[in-house]
């Protein structure tokens, strides 16, 4: 009642409404921090709600005071958000993994050698199993949140991140933080939120999330931020970057970040020896099971930022940090049956249904058996006592029997016909998987082909996710990808037109896809074995779908990287009348079926017959852009160095093993400027 009196009386008398808004925001930010980060609330839930309601009322009266970082915005919006791709200011590299003490020791010795005997400390941290996020602050306000993506660019998910209550929207004034900085961490779903969410989905007869990481990832990428707000995501921050950060020590910087209001794990510890690292790993290998969130390992970082810079990075990961992955937890249960699922490509995956068990904090009823070879090795029978573990702490898999099969238990054999359409299954030479070949008549394959067609690296119809594709297929609106170009708004709008914005986005995305270049159209149509790289090579060699469709085996195998398996698959695809009809329909609807005039004119033979390796970090262009330049000038990108390598395009921090091998073989090393001059693109 004391708080209520203050809010309704004294506060209103002493302050203008605008001042009350600012005061309430400041106090609510602090209460959020006390509750969600410190776990030490200083007011009751009722009092907190009362303050929040008062702030909401005042903000309605003063729309000119709108602020996206107000505590009232944490509830999210039911408007659809389209994610924008953002370039990272600094690459978000992945960490190399280790799995035993010997590999940890080797990392420690590499650091010691790289620092030439200088003393160093290792910061030991828990590796949280969630979704990596980069948060950007200016003058204490959250301005942008970006997912890791491919490490060089990610999706802007700021609206959704604002709903996560352990992430501060506004830092307290005078706390000592820089004007601009970036802090990285992990967005995750606590076990309690995960179990509550799956219980709701089970009641609604919706598919369950396999683990908290998938649930967190799916939630953060939701287009409806009010859904994100309801699901109870959390976040731990673990790396501070930018000009003017407190000091040279990573551990000390994170201590400072904690004082600014960020949730930083209290499990962080500085180690001064290899034995201290071992002790930390041993302790948390057991104790992590008592944590409220999922972890799958330990991260070891050189503490000094100056020493981090001195050690540098490889093309894929920093030399100053490494991840130690915990051994997968195993449990015993009883196998009840095996069901067979049909994947997007037609691959048949056997899945074990079994008595429920607890693994890494989640209840598991199903586990993968991978393929027919694995099933044969396991020699499974109904009623077998089996051992199950989580591969990488994520995917449950059957790894063996706990005891011999009891007499009378029926053996489980791999099926011979597709469970979805009844077609006889086939196995391609050299492949472990067994496939349904009915690409134009098996529902899971048809849906999978459409999902592939609309994907980002294919036609990039980003407004259509798997759920929408499946829904349209089940409604009979589409039977193949060509049907997308016949869709009309009146077919897709619901009765009250509440989905008008999303329908317009879908139709605009379909329309814009007509401008996608030929090489991606070729990848999108889904010829078996023709991946993104093969599609580029074929498109640039033949120049049009017409020429490709009549190519012979001999002509196809003349293309770099195209062997007889891919060539045979291309010929088989175009020999099918149904596929030719499909291509004709796409052509009629206006898709790009040949290399553009601009691409044809830009191509040169400056790198003809050259095999080029790319290594390091570049200043002028990304690695993908350099790969495209090499292909554009008729060169060949190769991944490893040999006597046939023409030269290495080397950026900063070229891998030491590649450098050593190049010097040993006498392979030329070319820098960015030399390369750009060679191809005439300076």
- Computed from CA positions of residues 404, 407, 413, 419, in that sequence, does the dihedral angle turn out positive or negative? negative
How distant, in Å, are the alpha carbons of 160, 163, 663 from that of 231?
11, 10, 55
DSSP state for residue 8 in the 8-state scheme: I
Pairwise CA distance, residues 89 & 153, whole Å: 9
Which two three-digit tokens encode residue 666?
A: 């006498």
DSSP state for residue 74 in the 8-state scheme: G
How distant, in Å, are the alpha carbons of 351, 391, 394, 643 from that of 292?
29, 21, 17, 53
What is the distance, to the nearest Å, from the Cα of residue 219 to the centroid of all Cα atoms in its chain?
13
Contact 182, 253 (CB under 8 A): no
Q: Which residues are CB-contacts of 280 (< 8 A; sequence separation ≥ 6)?
A: 124, 269, 271, 298
Pairwise CA distance, residues 470 & 481, whole Å: 12
Q: In what order do the strands lie in the sheet with 180-188?
A: 141-147, 131-138, 180-188, 234-241
Closest CA to 104 of 314, 268, 305, 325: 325
List 6, 60, 127, 390, catalytic entry: 127
Q: How many CB atoms lie within 10 A of CB 413?
A: 11
Pairwise CA distance, residues 23 & 414, whole Å: 67
Pairwise CA distance, residues 117 & 664, whole Å: 27
Residue listed under structure tokens 């005997």 = 117
Contact 484, 502 (CB under 8 A): no
289 catalytic residue (yes or no) = no
Which positions are catalytic? 127
């Amino acid at each position: 009642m004391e708080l209520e009196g203050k809010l309704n009386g004294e506060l209103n008398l002493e302050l203008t409404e605008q001042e009350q808004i600012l005061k309430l925001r400041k106090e609510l930010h602090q209460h959020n921090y006390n509750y969600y980060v410190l776990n030490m609330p200083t007011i009751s839930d009722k009092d907190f709600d009362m303050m929040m309601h008062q702030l909401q009322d005042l903000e309605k009266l003063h729309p000119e005071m709108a602020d996206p970082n107000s505590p009232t915005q944490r509830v999210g919006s039911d408007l659809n958000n389209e994610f924008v791709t953002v370039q990272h200011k600094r690459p978000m590299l992945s960490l190399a993994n280790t799995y035993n003490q010997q590999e940890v020791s080797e990392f420690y010795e590499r650091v010691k050698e790289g620092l030439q005997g200088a003393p160093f400390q290792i910061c030991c941290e828990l590796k949280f199993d969630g979704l990596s996020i980069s948060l950007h602050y200016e003058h204490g306000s959250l301005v942008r949140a970006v997912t890791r993506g491919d490490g060089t660019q990610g999706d802007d998910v700021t609206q959704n991140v604002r709903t996560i209550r352990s992430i501060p929207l506004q830092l307290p004034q005078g706390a000592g933080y820089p004007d601009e900085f970036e802090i990285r961490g992990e967005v995750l779903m606590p076990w309690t939120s995960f179990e509550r969410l799956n219980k709701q989905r089970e009641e609604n007869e919706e598919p369950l999330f396999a683990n908290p990481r998938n649930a967190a990832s799916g939630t953060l990428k939701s287009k409806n931020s009010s859904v994100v707000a309801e699901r109870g995501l959390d976040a731990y921050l673990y790396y501070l970057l930018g000009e003017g950060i407190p000091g040279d020590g990573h551990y000390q910087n994170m201590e400072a970040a904690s004082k600014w209001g960020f949730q930083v794990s209290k499990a962080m510890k500085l180690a001064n020896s290899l034995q201290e690292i071992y002790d930390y790993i041993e302790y948390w290998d057991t104790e992590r099971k008592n944590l409220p969130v999922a972890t799958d390992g330990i991260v070891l970082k050189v503490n000094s930022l100056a020493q981090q810079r001195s050690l540098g990075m490889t093309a894929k990961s920093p030399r100053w940090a490494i991840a130690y992955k915990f051994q997968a937890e195993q449990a015993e249960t009883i196998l009840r049956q095996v069901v067979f699922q049909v994947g997007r490509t037609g691959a048949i995956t056997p899945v074990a249904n079994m008595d429920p068990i607890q693994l890494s904090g989640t209840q598991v009823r199903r586990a993968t058996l991978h393929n027919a070879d694995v099933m044969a090795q396991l020699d499974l029978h109904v009623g077998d006592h089996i051992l199950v573990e989580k591969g990488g702490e994520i995917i449950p898999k059957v790894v063996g029997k706990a005891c011999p099969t009891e007499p009378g238990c029926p053996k489980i054999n791999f099926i011979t016909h597709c469970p979805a359409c009844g077609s006889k299954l086939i196995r391609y030479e050299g492949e472990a998987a067994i496939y349904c070949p009915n690409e134009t008549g098996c529902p899971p394959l048809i849906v999978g082909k459409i999902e592939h067609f609309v994907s980002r690296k294919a036609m990039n119809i980003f407004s259509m996710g798997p759920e929408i594709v499946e829904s349209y297929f089940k409604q009979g609106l589409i039977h193949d990808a060509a049907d997308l170009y016949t869709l009309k708004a009146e077919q897709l709008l619901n009765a009250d037109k509440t989905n008008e914005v999303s329908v317009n986005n879908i139709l605009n995305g379909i329309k814009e896809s007509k401008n996608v270049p030929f090489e991606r159209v070729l990848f999108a149509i889904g010829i078996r074995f023709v991946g993104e790289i093969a599609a580029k090579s074929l498109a640039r060699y033949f120049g049009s779908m017409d020429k490709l469709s009549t190519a012979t085996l001999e002509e196809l195998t003349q293309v770099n990287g195209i062997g007889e398996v891919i060539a045979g698959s291309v010929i088989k695809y175009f020999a099918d009348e149904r596929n030719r009809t499909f291509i004709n329909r796409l052509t009629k609807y206006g898709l790009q079926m040949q290399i553009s005039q601009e691409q044809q004119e830009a191509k040169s033979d400056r790198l003809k017959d050259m095999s080029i390796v790319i290594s390091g970090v570049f200043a002028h262009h990304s690695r993908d852009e350099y790969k495209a330049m090499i292909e554009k000038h008729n060169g060949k990108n190769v991944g490893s160095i040999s006597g046939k390598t023409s030269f290495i395009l080397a950026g900063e921090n070229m891998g030491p093993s590649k450098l050593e091998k190049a010097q040993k073989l006498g392979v030329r090393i070319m820098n960015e400027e030399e390369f750009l001059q060679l191809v005439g693109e300076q």
